[in-house]
Amino acid sequence: MTSLLLIMSDQHAQRIAGCYGDIAGATPHIDQLASRGVTFDNAYCSSPICLPSRMSALTGRHPFRQRCWTNTDYLASDIPTMAHALGAARYQPVLAGRMHALGPDQLHGYVRRTIGDHSSNWFGAPRKDMGPLHNTNDPHHVSVARSGIGRSAYEVKDEDVTASAVAMLDEIGAARHGGGAVKPFALTVGYMLPHPPYVAREHDFRRFEGRTPPVAIPPATDEHPWLAWWRENRGIRDVSAEDMGRARTAYYALTWRMDTMVGEILSALDRNGLSEETLVIYTSDHGDHVGDRGLWWKHTFFDESLKIPLVMRWPGQLPEGERRRQVVSLVDLAPTVLEALAAPALPNIDGQSFLSVARDAAAPWHDTMFAEYCTDPTPEWTGGMAVRQRSIRRGRFKFNWYMGYPPQLFDLQADPLEQKDLADSATHADLRDALQADVLAGWNVAEIDLTMRAREADKALIAAWTRATNPPSTYHWPIQPEHNYLGMPSDGEHGT
């Protein structure tokens, strides 16, 4: 039986990795992994926000099919996940770190979880206290303004996650070397980095100071009206060059630190003699604009937000140093893993295994992805707007549908930076109409809108219950205000 090491970071933009062409040198360990495996150039998330995208990776279902659209939705415990299927195949699936599930079920098929999430299990609980970095982890202007040298609790948490993962691999290695019976393992590692706050320890920040590439895509002069509203509402229309430079440098530094932690785990895999029999997958839940187009964070259908790194290494089973141009999605991840590990297939899913594509670039594939972005107005950062949006990429074309706003159509082969909207082009009218029909097929926006609006009352009651009863959280890594600082630390720590 094959073992599994699945590493998922948070908000790692695909383009900011050496194996995807970046020259700043932020990802040497991921790049090394890519040199010995298969790199997917057109891998996409299922939603440009955390919870629905991560749940889609577990369930193999689109957000609307698992009824998780927002970061305050609960995944039903009777929806089977990749972890359930691995357990049915006699694995003991273990999770170290981030999952971002709400509610009493903090395992969703994992039989062991060593490090939990950074926030409460319950919507309505008091927000985590980020101390001097208050609100810098969310899409507010302060996220960019209060950036640079510092440290966030997210980085401290990821250090604990790394130590836990390394300890588990060392335990497996010790048992093997001791002559005991060792079963194949299935370990998922969930990181927070390089998610904002855009602050990094001085040592890492200095490494990239003055070395980050300039912004590649300027803001559009004829911006889509929803994007213009988002930019204005989030206060990022006028970001100073100083703030932009600091935040971008910190993002690269956080990516470097996350990559260093990935390297520690891969080293543990090697020194314990486990690499040759382990399928290793590195990916993320969505990207980050990091200043491109004058935008920050995620929340859009541009490739900076939707595209994710996806690298697979499986010695003797997958080719080394090859790339794949096929369009794949996080909903395809679970079926791919399950096929590779000869585990039962998940029923009633939307994704398909791309294992054959990983093995052979000429294998047939549907070359299609869907992504959804739907919010309710509950979180303050939504500006009180409930959005219903869906995107499809099929082959070279991407079509974005917006409730209440005009659509967008891009030819990513001729226009990889998505700067020429073809939605009003008479030449592309038939294609636009066909893609609109496809993006809305089975995705009943009126029904989704009614469902999400009705659930706002449900969430309000659960939040009131949470505030009144203060239910305990399980698998919870408690953030402390002192984990966070901006500028040089008072205790002399320099991030070494």
- E strand residue ranges, 125-176: 148-151
Cβ burial of 253 (10 Å; 0-12, 13-18, 19+) is buried
337, 317 Cβ separation under 8 angstroms? no
Please indicate, yes or no, if residue 158 is contained in any of the structural domains: yes
C-alpha to C-alpha distance for 184 and 90, rounded to whole angstroms: 9
Domain of residue 222, CATH code: 3.40.720.10
Task: Establish whether the linkage from the previous residue to 93 is cis, with ω within 30° of 0.
Answer: no
Please indicate, yes or no, if residue 216 is contained in any of the structural domains: yes
Alpha carbons within 13 A on the beta-carbon side of 154: 28
- Look at the chain and report how many structural domains it folds into: 1
User: What is the span of the domain harbouring residue 318?
Assistant: 3-366+478-486
Kindly indicate the confidence band of residue 490, based on its pLDDT and cuts at 50, 70 and 90: low
C-alpha to C-alpha distance for 199 and 247, rounded to whole angstroms: 7
**Nearest one of 486, 475, 488, 489 to 160, comparing CA atoms:** 475
SS3 103: coil
Please indicate, yes or no, if residue 405 is contained in any of the structural domains: no
Please indicate, yes or no, if residue 247 is contained in any of the structural domains: yes
Please indicate, yes or no, if residue 423 is contained in any of the structural domains: no
97, 79 Cβ separation under 8 angstroms? no
C-alpha to C-alpha distance for 72 and 68, rounded to whole angstroms: 8
322, 315 Cβ separation under 8 angstroms? no
Please indicate, yes or no, if residue 287 is contained in any of the structural domains: yes
Please indicate, yes or no, if residue 40 is contained in any of the structural domains: yes
Residues whose CB is less than 8 angstroms from the CB of residue 403 and which lie 6 or more positions away in sequence, other chains included: 387, 388, 389, 445, 449
AA identity, residue 26: A
* pLDDT tens, position by position, 435-471: 999 999 999 999 999 999 999 999 999 999 999 999 9
Q: What is the pLDDT of residue 495?
A: 43
C-alpha to C-alpha distance for 419 and 425, rounded to whole angstroms: 14
Kindly indicate the confidence band of residue 211, based on its pLDDT and cuts at 50, 70 and 90: very high
Cα angle: 109, vertex 11, 218; to 5 degrees: 155
Residues whose CB is less than 8 angstroms from the CB of residue 450 and which lie 6 or more positions away in sequence, other chains included: none
* pLDDT tens, position by position, 54-112: 999 999 999 999 999 999 999 999 999 999 999 999 999 999 999 999 999 999 999 99
* pLDDT tens, position by position, 112-168: 999 999 999 999 999 889 999 999 999 999 999 999 999 999 999 999 999 999 999
Please indicate, yes or no, if residue 9 is contained in any of the structural domains: yes
